[in-house]
C-alpha cells in the first residue's frame, strides 16, 4: 500500500515540480495550455488527495507499530516517537529549504507529535475524534467557500457588486505576485533559490502545516485506529472480513469517484475560475477524497493476497519499504529536470507533456529497492532516520 501511495503521489507532485505552487490548484495557472486541463482532470479524479490520504493513514498506523517496537526495546515509547518525529521535522525543513516547496515531511512530523497525545484512546474514540475534526473543519470551510464561489460567478458574469469586483481583482493580484515569486525561485540557480526561500518564505512549512492540519491529523488518527482494530492484519490472521472490505472498496471508490468527477466537470465547464478551484481542491473535495482513500485502501488489502507472489508486486512493496528515500530521491530527480540549476524545463515545457515524466519517476522508484533491501535490509534514508532516532539511547 505504501508503495502504491508513494508512486501515486508523484502523479500529483509532478505539476508542483514543473510550475509555481498555484499550478497545482488549476490548469489555468499560471496560464491555460493545450493538454494541460486533460492531465489535470485525470490526476485530480484518480490521484489528488487519495494517494496522500493513503500515505497519511499508513503513517498513523506506522506510529503505532513504532510505539510497540519501542516498548519491546524497553524504551519510553512516547519519548522515542517524539525523537523520531523531531528528526523527521529537520529532514522535512531541509527538504523544503534545499530542494522544493511541496515538502510534507515537516507537516507529518508536527501533526504526528500532536496526535501522539491521543494515542492511548481506544479505536472508537480515536476514529470519532478524527471524523469530528475532519467534517467540522471542512464543513465550516465549505460554507465560506460556497459563498465566495457565488460572488466570483457574479463578478465573472458582469453583475457583481463593487466590493466583489474589488475583492476579485485583489485576489488576482495576489495570484500574479505569488506566481512571479515562485517562478523566480524555480528558474534560479541552486544557491540563489536557497537564498530566496530563506529570505522570502522561511516559514512556509509552518504555513502549510496550519493550512492542512485538519486533513492530515484526522487521517493519522484514523490510521492509528485502523491499526488498533486489526485492519492491516492478513485476512487469515484477524484482518477485517473480505465482505466488509469489498463494500468499502466498491462504495468508497464509486461514490468518491462520482463526486470527484462532478466537481471536475463543473470546474471544466466554467473554465476553472480561480476562487472556485481553491475550494474544489480543498474543502469541497474533502469527502470524496476520504471516500476514495478508504476505497483504495480496502481494494489494496483485498488485492494483495492475490498478487503478492508476482514480481511487480514485490517491486512495488520494496518501493514502499524505501518510501522515505524514494520520496526525497524523486524530488532530486524532478528538480534536476525542471529547476533552473538543472535542465530548466519548469514553466517553459508545455504542461501537456507532464504525464511523460511520471513513468520516468516510477521507473526510478522501482528500479533499485529490491536489490538494495536484499543486501542491506533497510532503505538508505530509512536507516539513517532509525540511527538518529536511537542515537545515544
DSSP string, 51-90: HHHHHHHHHHHHHHHHHHHHHHTTS-HHHHHHHHHHHHHH
pLDDT of residue 237: 54
pLDDT digits (tens, 9 = 90+) for 154-168: 999 999 999 999 999
Q: What is the mean pLDDT of the chain?
A: 96
For residue 186, give Cα distances in angstroms to 21, 27, 327.
Answer: 10, 18, 19
Distance CA 212, CA 282 (A): 9
Q: What is the pLDDT of residue 360?
A: 97
Supply the angle between the helices 77-98 and 190-200 in degrees, to the nearest 10: 120
Rounded mean pLDDT, 188-197: 97
Residue 192: burial class (beta carbons within 10 Å; 0-12, 13-18, 19+): middle
Predicted pLDDT of residue 238: 58
Q: Which of 237, 365, 214 is nearest to 301 (CA)?
A: 237
- CA 136 to the chain's CA centroid: 21
Give the separation between CA 182 and CA 329, rounded to whole angstroms. 22
User: Is the per-residue pLDDT at 147 higher than 90?
Assistant: yes
pLDDT of residue 203: 97
Say what the pLDDT of residue 89 is: 98
> What does the pLDDT read at residue 329?
98
Q: What is the mean pLDDT of residues 267-273?
A: 97
Model pTM greater than 0.75?
A: yes
**pLDDT in the model for residue 299:** 96
Return the pLDDT at 121: 95
pLDDT (0 to 100) of residue 357? 97
Residue 34: the pLDDT is: 87
Reported confidence tier of residue 234, pLDDT bands at 50, 70, 90: low
Query: Confidence class of residue 240 from pLDDT cuts 50, 70 and 90?
Result: confident
pLDDT in tens, 117-128: 999 999 999 999
Helix (H, G, I), strand (E, B) or coil at 230: coil
What would you report as the CA-atom Rg of the chain, rounded to the nearest whole angstrom?
21
100 within 8 A of 91, measured Cβ to Cβ: no
Amino acid at each position: 500500500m505504501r508503495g502504491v501511495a508513494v508512486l501515486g503521489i508523484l502523479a500529483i507532485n509532478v505539476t508542483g515540480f514543473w510550475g509555481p505552487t498555484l499550478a497545482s490548484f488549476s490548469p489555468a495557472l499560471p496560464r491555460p495550455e493545450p493538454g494541460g486541463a486533460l492531465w489535470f482532470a485525470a490526476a485530480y479524479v484518480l490521484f489528488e488527495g487519495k494517494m496522500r490520504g493513503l500515505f497519511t493513514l499508513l503513517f498513523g498506523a506506522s506510529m503505532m507499530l513504532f510505539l510497540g517496537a519501542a516498548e519491546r526495546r524497553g524504551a519510553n515509547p512516547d519519548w522515542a516517537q517524539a525523537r523520531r518525529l523531531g528528526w523527521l521535522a529537520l529532514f522535512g525543513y531541509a527538504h523544503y529549504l534545499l530542494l522544493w516547496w511541496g515538502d510534507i515531511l515537516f507537516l507529518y512530523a508536527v501533526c504526528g507529535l500532536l496526535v501522539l497525545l491521543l494515542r492511548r484512546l481506544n479505536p472508537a474514540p480515536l476514529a470519532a475524534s478524527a471524523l469530528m475534526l475532519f467534517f467540522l473543519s471542512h464543513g465550516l470551510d465549505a460554507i465560506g467557500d460556497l459563498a465566495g464561489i457565488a460572488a466570483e460567478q457574479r463578478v465573472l458574469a458582469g453583475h457583481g457588486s463593487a466590493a466583489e469586483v474589488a475583492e476579485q481583482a485583489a485576489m488576482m493580484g495576489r495570484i500574479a505576485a505569488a506566481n512571479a515569486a515562485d517562478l523566480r525561485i524555480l528558474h534560479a540557480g541552486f544557491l540563489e533559490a536557497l537564498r530566496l526561500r530563506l529570505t522570502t518564505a522561511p516559514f512556509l512549512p509552518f504555513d502549510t502545516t496550519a493550512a492542512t492540519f485538519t486533513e492530515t491529523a484526522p487521517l493519522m488518527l484514523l490510521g492509528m485506529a485502523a491499526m488498533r482494530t486489526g485492519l492491516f492484519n492478513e485476512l487469515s490472521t484477524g484482518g477485517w472480513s473480505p465482505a466488509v472490505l469489498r463494500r468499502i472498496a466498491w462504495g468508497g471508490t464509486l461514490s468518491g469517484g462520482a463526486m470527484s468527477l462532478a466537481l471536475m466537470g463543473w470546474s471544466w465547464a466554467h473554465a476553472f475560475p480561480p476562487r472556485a478551484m481553491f475550494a474544489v481542491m480543498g474543502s469541497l473535495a474533502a469527502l470524496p477524497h476520504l471516500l476514495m482513500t478508504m476505497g483504495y485502501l480496502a481494494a489494496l488489502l483485498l488485492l494483495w493476497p492475490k498478487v503478492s507472489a508476482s514480481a511487480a508486486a514485490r517491486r512495488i512493496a520494496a518501493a514502499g519499504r524505501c518510501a522515505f528515500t524514494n520520496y526525497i530521491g524523486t524530488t532530486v530527480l524532478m528538480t534536476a529536470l525542471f529547476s533552473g540549476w538543472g535542465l530548466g524545463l519548469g514553466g517553459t515545457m508545455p504542461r501537456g507533456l507532464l504525464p511523460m515524466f511520471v513513468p520516468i519517476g516510477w521507473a526510478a522508484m522501482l528500479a533499485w529497492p529490491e536489490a538494495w533491501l536484499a543486501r542491506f535490509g533497510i532503505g538508505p534514508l530509512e536507516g539513517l532516520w532509525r540511527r538518529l532516532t536511537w542515537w545515544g539511547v
